[in-house]
Amino acid sequence: MNIKTFALAGFAVAGFVAADAAMAQACSIAAWNGGPTGTPAAGRPADGVARYSGQCGLRATATAQYVTDTTPAAEPTFRARFYVYTGLATGSAVVYEALNASNAAMIRVTYDRGAGQFVFATTGSNGNVGSITADRWYSIELNWSRSAGNLVATVRGAGATTDSTATVTGVGGTDQIDAARLGWVSGTATTNTRALVFDAYDSRRASAIGRLCRGDANNDGTRNSGDQIVVRNEVFGTTVASGQPDANEDGNINSGDQITVRNLVFNAQNACTSGV
């Protein structure tokens, strides 16, 4: 898997790629080969842009601010994973779309602030995952298949330790994916301070992607005292963590994350494979 700033959109033989990484350079959306629409802002915490992983996130403060990946090509199967910060005060926003060659939406993901849910739509149906809290980070993984005829969406965030899923039927027999959009694609909403923020996009043809390791602040694949130090350093303004320091997934890096990481370590959940 390629690793790039904020999010990605590279292409590999085995599938699509995108990723995220700690980069000391300026945050960039250059990996998005379809470019930006509007003016989404790639930035770091010092720029006032929250991030889930690494140095950079992508913030959208108004509708029609998003980036596009045109790497997919007539795909009959498709997987994508991204993180979204639910920084809306009112309304709803389409935060992700996968499109066919005619720019018709094959997958549409909407965050509905009022209903507190993510809505997942195929060309023929829709479903949702509820109990979504505003101003929190959530991971969303999409597993779309023309042959299976459905979209399976897996959601987890706000510090939760289990997934919520929705299986949506209605994928059409001629549906295909040729592009993807991530950001505030459309919809009417008002934002809270941080607005909508996106991070850590990855897409592939077949294999499951999974979540990044929550609280692995130094990104070494395990959770231990080294992460406690790295979180502390970011809290004190010394250095920005290279991994996932926002262990309680609330957009702040503070003592709450120090406590959460400590609890993970002391509860013997050091291994990122522990599933929490």
Binding site for Ca ion (CB under 5 A): 20, 51, 53-54, 56, 199, 216, 218, 220, 227, 246, 248, 250, 252, 257
Query: What count of other Cβ atoms lies within 10 Å of the Cβ of residue 23?
Result: 17
Least Å from the CB of residue 51 to Ca ion: 4
Residue closer to Ca ion by CB (options 40, 127) is: 40
* 152 versus 160: smaller Cβ distance to Ca ion: 160
Instruction: Report in angstroms how near the CB of residue 169 gets to Ca ion at its nearest.
Output: 33
Least gap, CB of 38 to Ca ion (angstroms): 20
Nearer to Ca ion, 10 or 54 (CB): 54
Buried (b) or exposed (e) across 207-237, using 16+ Cβ within 10 A?
eebebbbbbbbbbeeebeeebbbbbbbbbee
- Taking the complex as a whole, the smallest distance from the CB of residue 85 to Ca ion amounts, in Å, to 11
Instruction: Report the C-alpha gap between 171 and 274 in whole angstroms.
Output: 33
> CA 113 → CA 83, 141, 142, 225, distances in Å?
16, 19, 20, 37
The answer to whether the Cα torsion of 180, 212, 3, 234 is positive or negative is positive
For the record, the structure tokens of 49 come out as: 């842009």
Q: Which is nearer to Ca ion, 128 or 248 (CB)?
A: 248
With contact defined as beta carbons under 8 Å apart, do 184 and 95 qualify? Answer: yes
Q: In terms of C-beta density within 10 A (0-12 exposed, 13-18 middle, 19 or more buried), how is residue 269 classed?
A: middle
Which residue lies nearer to Ca ion by CB, 20 or 175? 20
Q: Which residue is nearest to Ca ion (CB)?
A: 54
In the complex, what is the shortest distance from the CB of residue 53 to Ca ion, in angstroms, rounded to a whole number? 5
Least distance to Ca ion from the beta carbon of 161, Å?
15
Alpha carbons 250 and 169: distance in angstroms, whole number: 32
Minimum CB–partner distance for residue 230 and Ca ion (Å): 8
Cβ proximity to Ca ion: between 47 and 220 the closer is 220
Smallest gap from Cβ 241 to Ca ion, in A, equals 10
| Type and span of the H or E element at 232 | helix 225-235
State which residue, 99 or 261, has the beta carbon closest to Ca ion.
Answer: 261
Question: Could you give the CA distance from residue 250 to residue 50 in angstroms, rounded to a whole number?
Answer: 10
Neighbours of 147 (CB within 10 A): 9
User: Considering beta carbons, is residue 97 or 246 the nearer one to Ca ion?
Assistant: 246
